[in-house]
Amino acid sequence: MAALATMLARYRRFRHILIFEQRNWPYRLVFALGLGVPLTAGVAARILLNYDAADLMLEGAFLAGLLAGSYTGALVGLAIALPALAAGEYGAPFFAIGCGFAGGGLREACPKEEIWGFSPFVLLSMPHFVWRMIRRFEVNWPVVLLLAIIGLEMVRQSVGFRFDTRLFHLSSPSAWITLVVYLATIVTVSTPIKIWNNARFEHRLQEQEKLLLAAKVEALKSQINPHFLFNTLTSVSSLIRLQPDTAREVLQKLSGLLRKLMANQVQFVTLREELAAIDEYLDIEVIRFGPRLSIRKSIAPDTLDIVIPSLLLQPLVENCIKHGFARKVGPGTITLRSWREGANAIIEVTDDGLGISPERLPQALSSGIGLSNVNERLRVLYGATGRLVLTGSPGRGACARVEIPLDLAAERITA
Per-residue pLDDT of 119-131, as tens digits, reads 887 777 777 767 7
Q: Does domain 210-412 have CATH number 3.30.565.10?
A: yes
Q: In angstroms, rounded to a whole number, what is the distance separating the alpha carbons of residues 292 and 328?
A: 10
**Which candidate, 87, 86, 90, 62, places its Cα nearest to that of 76?**
62
Which range has the worst mean pLDDT, 48-57, 219-228, 352-361?
219-228
Q: Contact, 300 vs 334, CB < 8 A? A: no
Q: In angstroms, rounded to a whole number, what is the distance separating the alpha carbons of residues 73 and 256?
A: 60
List, in sequence order, every residue forming a beta bridge with 341; answer none if it has no partner. 344
Classified as helix, coil or strand, 353 is coil
Query: Could you tell me where the beta strands, DSSP code E, fall in 301-362?
Result: 307-309, 332-341, 344-351
Predicted pLDDT at 69: 86
Give the residue-averaged pLDDT of 168-183: 89
Q: Contact, 335 vs 296, CB < 8 A? A: yes
- Cα end-to-end distance, the chain, whole Å: 33
Predicted pLDDT at 413: 47
Classified as helix, coil or strand, 384 is helix
List, in sequence order, every residue forming a beta bridge with 367; answer none if it has no partner. none
Q: pTM for the whole thing?
A: 0.57
Predicted pLDDT at 415: 47
CB atoms within 10 A of CB 66: 27
Q: Where are the domains of the chain?
A: 2-171, 210-412
**Roughly what angle, to the nearest 10 degrees, separates helices 370-382 and 175-239?**
160
Condensed to tens digits (0 to 9), the pLDDT of residues 366-401 reads 666 677 778 877 887 787 788 888 888 887 888 999
Predicted pLDDT at 213: 59
Q: In angstroms, rounded to a whole number, what is the distance separating the alpha carbons of residues 23 and 35?
A: 16
List Cα–Cα distances, 381 to 385, 387, 390, 392, in angstroms.
9, 10, 19, 26
Give the residue-averaged pLDDT of 78-82: 94
Q: What is the mean pLDDT of the chain?
A: 82
Which range has the worst mean pLDDT, 72-86, 103-117, 318-332?
318-332
Q: Could you tell me the pLDDT band of residue 215, with boundaries at 50, 70 and 90? A: low
Q: Which phi and psi (to 5°) does residue 268 adopt? A: -130, 140
What's the residue count for the chain?
Answer: 415
Pick 403 or 143 by higher pLDDT: 403
Q: In angstroms, rounded to a whole number, what is the distance separating the alpha carbons of residues 344 and 279?
A: 24
Predicted pLDDT at 44: 94
Which range has the worst mean pLDDT, 148-162, 226-240, 330-344?
226-240
Q: In angstroms, rounded to a whole number, what is the distance separating the alpha carbons of residues 274 and 232?
A: 19
